[in-house]
Structure 1
Amino acid sequence: MKIWTCERVARYLGCSPQQIKRYCELNKIPCYRSSSDGMQSMYSYRINEEDLLQFFNCKTLEDFNQVRYH
């Protein structure tokens, strides 16, 4: 299971990390909070890859690579 940060998701989507953080705060994207897992991030939100793909209706990471934030 891979874990994603707000910054990493934002880079893939072409948006700002604050927008992803907001989705996490509104419980739109399932996530958990951790600041002590050794991952460098300005935000403590962590998103499981499976949950991320499900939220964007993607079956694979390649599908997710085609998604762009509008």
Structure 2
Amino acid sequence: MKPIGLLMGACLLAGLTGCTVQQLYASGQSWQRNECFKLIDSVQRNQCLAQTWMPYDQYTHELHQDNVERAQLARP
């Protein structure tokens, strides 16, 4: 299944089941960890796994900071 199809399916499922954004984030992290475990090279697998443990609060904080920086760069 293509990534966009997965995203659309997740959104539809979330709307139907009442999942919170945090639950969707946790599900996405779990899916990514499962994909990391499919990697044969241990260095790549460990790097992949290291990216899947960011807490939701930290993720939203960094996302907000990125949006603020982009808004500042977009100003003339």
Fold match (TM-score > 0.5): no
TM-score, normalised on structure 1?
Answer: 0.27
More helix by share: 2
More strand by share: 1
Structure exhibiting the larger radius of gyration computed from Cα positions: 2
* Greater relative contact order, per chain length (Cα 8 Å cut-off, separation 6+): 1
